[in-house]
Amino acid sequence: MTTTTRTERTVLDDARDQLAEAVKILGLPADVHAMLAEPRRELSVSIPLRRDDGSIEVLRGYRVQHNYSRGPGKGGVRFDDAVDLDEVRALAMWMTWKCALLDVPYGGAKGGVRIDPRRYSIAELERVTRRYTSEIAPIIGPEIDIPAPDIGTDERTMAWMMDTYSVGRGHTVLGVVTGKPIALGGSQGRAAATSRGVVAVSLEVLHHLGIRPEGATAAVQGFGKVGRGAARFLAEEGLRVVAVSDVDGAISHPDGLDLPALEAYVDETGSVVGFPGSSPISGEEVLAAEVDLLVPAAVEGVIHAGNAEAVRARVIVEGANGPLSADADRILGERGVLVVPDILANAGGVVVSYFEWVQANQSYWWTEAEVNEKLVDRMTHAWRDVLVYATERHLSLRLAATCMAVERVWRAHEVRGLYP
Ligand code: GLU
């Protein structure tokens, strides 16, 4: 049999297979499976963009609401040139499970625009964001669907989205997006929340395996919103971060990279490449680093059938959404590598998004210490619940987490009943 690669199978195939496996274990009937597999609502929009030179380019954007049985849709907006409808569908489904698993009262949604943001000016990105927001405005809102940042978007994007939506409504609507700047109703601790959550779970896993964080080794793939903070917090906990990468390249240092100095270097140069005292390595070498902990924190499908055998980490904590293909998941599972799935590991972002939305709805703001304490508490409890569920039923952590989430969503469906 030939091995499959990411080019043959899509992330949506993987997401659907995970659901099918969970449905089978839970013993849910076929009609329930069919309802949970289908996105409830999808919008595909054309985004005409006036470039700075006066020409017009037509972009494509999407918003998919996979499920809203437990509450409003929730999930990020991605600006990336690989965005397509199937990817957004998969990411929306994962958001449904993530929100259910962490027990935040949301369904799952995701949005995206097919664009490479690095090739556009800030003024152009603002126009894209505003037009995209106005196109999807009929299906978003604090009680309908609440976007947030994802790859290629940030708090500035959220401020533009919130402003565009509010202008259309005639009043300021803080709760329509999360991940906003602090000056505009953003939450303390939101920017670092995903990274903090990744590290909270990583510490729990190391403890579970009897590995002391002090002196344990880690590799982090991706040095953006998630990877950079994760590397910093891991180093603060005493781990040696021996290898990191970003889109431009990768570096290593056997004694552990000096994270504060590396962050200052990245702020200055825009990349980890060339960091004084480090050795240049390939991106694949980061994934194959001989470490206790590997955190893939960039994009989907980076570990696949072609390179899973090369992974030498004892534990993988998925900072990104879907960094392991289904094949890689199986190969690593058979080899006994412990994989903490994305819907648990990177849920810190949406947990603090929830806190931001609660604060916006109450107009009452918490301190950063309060936010961080509540975040770590939620993450560690979710980790423990998933571990118990997996151990009792002899399931992988991913399957356990998916089963727990699917069951919660199904319960909500069941008690609501089918209309009409
Ligand atoms: N984009 C993040 C994720 O994939 C955050 C979503 C949110 O805060 O709504 O979980």
Token code pair at residue 21: 């496996």
The reported pLDDT for the residue numbered 7 is 52
Q: Which helix (H) or strand (E) holds 245?
A: strand 240-246
Sheet arrangement for strand 293-296: 279-281, 249-252, 240-246, 217-221, 293-296, 315-317, 338-340
**Phi, psi angles (nearest 5°) of residue 103:** 55, 40
Mean pLDDT of all residues in 387-400:
98
Strand 338-340 and strand 249-252: the pairing is: unpaired
Beta bridge partners of 57: 49
Helix axes 193-208, 368-393, angle to 10 degrees: 40
Beta bridge partners of 241: 218
| pLDDT (tens digit per residue) in 87-126 | 999 999 999 999 999 999 999 999 999 999 999 999 999 9
Q: For residue 348, how far is its CA from the centre of ligand 1 (angstroms)?
A: 8
Q: For residue 170, how far is its CA from the centre of ligand 1 (angstroms)?
A: 27
24 an active-site residue?
no
Q: Residue 9's pLDDT band (boundaries 50, 70, 90)?
A: confident
* Cα–Cα dist 382/385, whole Å: 5
Q: For residue 181, how far is its CA from the centre of ligand 1 (angstroms)?
A: 16
Query: Which atom of ligand 1 is nearest the CA belonging to 150?
Result: 1
In the chain, domain spans: 40-172, 193-340
* Cα–Cα dist 113/273, whole Å: 28
Q: Which residue, judged by its Cα, is nearest atom 8 of ligand 1? A: 350
For ligand 1, mutation pick of 102, 201, 350 (most atoms within 8 Å of CB): 350
**Phi, psi angles (nearest 5°) of residue 96:** -60, -45
pTM assigned to the model: 0.97
pLDDT at 1 over 50: no
pLDDT at 5 over 80: no
pLDDT at 133 over 70: yes
The reported pLDDT for the residue numbered 120 is 98
Question: What single letter denotes the amino acid at residue 170?
Answer: G
Q: For residue 316, how far is its CA from the centre of ligand 1 (angstroms)?
A: 20
Strand 56-67 and strand 108-114: the pairing is: antiparallel
pLDDT at 250 over 70: yes
From 98, 110, 180, 225, active-site residue:
110
pLDDT at 276 over 70: yes
Beta bridge partners of 220: 244, 295
* Cα–Cα dist 187/181, whole Å: 8
On whether the CB atoms of residues 339 and 398 are closer than 8 A, the answer is yes
Question: Percent of the chain at pLDDT above 70?
Answer: 98
Query: Which atom of ligand 1 is nearest the CA belonging to 352?
Result: 8
What residues line ligand 1, using a CB cutoff of 6 Å? 74-76, 148, 150, 178-179, 321, 346, 349-350, 353
Query: Which atom of ligand 1 is nearest the CA belonging to 147?
Result: 9
CATH of domain 40-172: 3.40.50.10860
Query: Which atom of ligand 1 is nearest the CA belonging to 149?
Result: 1
Query: Which atom of ligand 1 is nearest the CA belonging to 106?
Result: 9
* Cα–Cα dist 298/239, whole Å: 20
Q: For residue 287, how far is its CA from the centre of ligand 1 (angstroms)?
A: 24
Q: Which of 63, 64, 60, 57 is nearest to 81 (CA)?
A: 60
| pLDDT (tens digit per residue) in 293-335 | 999 999 999 999 999 999 999 999 999 999 999 999 999 999 9
* Cα–Cα dist 211/104, whole Å: 31
Q: Is the peptide bond before 181 cis (omega within 30 degrees of 0)?
A: no
| pLDDT (tens digit per residue) in 159-211 | 999 999 999 999 999 999 999 999 999 999 999 999 999 999 999 999 999 99
Exposure of 238 in the CB half-sphere (CA atoms within 13 A) = 8
Burial of 3 (0-12, 13-18, 19+ CB in 10 A): exposed
Beta bridge partners of 114: 80
Mean pLDDT of all residues in 235-258:
98
For ligand 1, mutation pick of 65, 74, 95 (most atoms within 8 Å of CB): 95
Q: Domain 193-340: what homologous superfamily?
A: NAD(P)-binding Rossmann-like Domain (3.40.50.720)
Q: For residue 350, how far is its CA from the centre of ligand 1 (angstroms)?
A: 5
Mean pLDDT of all residues in 213-219:
97
Q: How far is CA 360 from the centre of its chain?
A: 22
Q: Which of 188, 194, 199 is nearest to 151 (CA)?
A: 194
Three-class SS state of 360 = helix
pLDDT at 236 over 60: yes
Token code pair at residue 34: 């069919």
* Cα–Cα dist 292/305, whole Å: 21
The rounded mean pLDDT for the chain is 97
* Radius of gyration for the alpha carbons in the chain, expressed in angstroms and rounded: 21
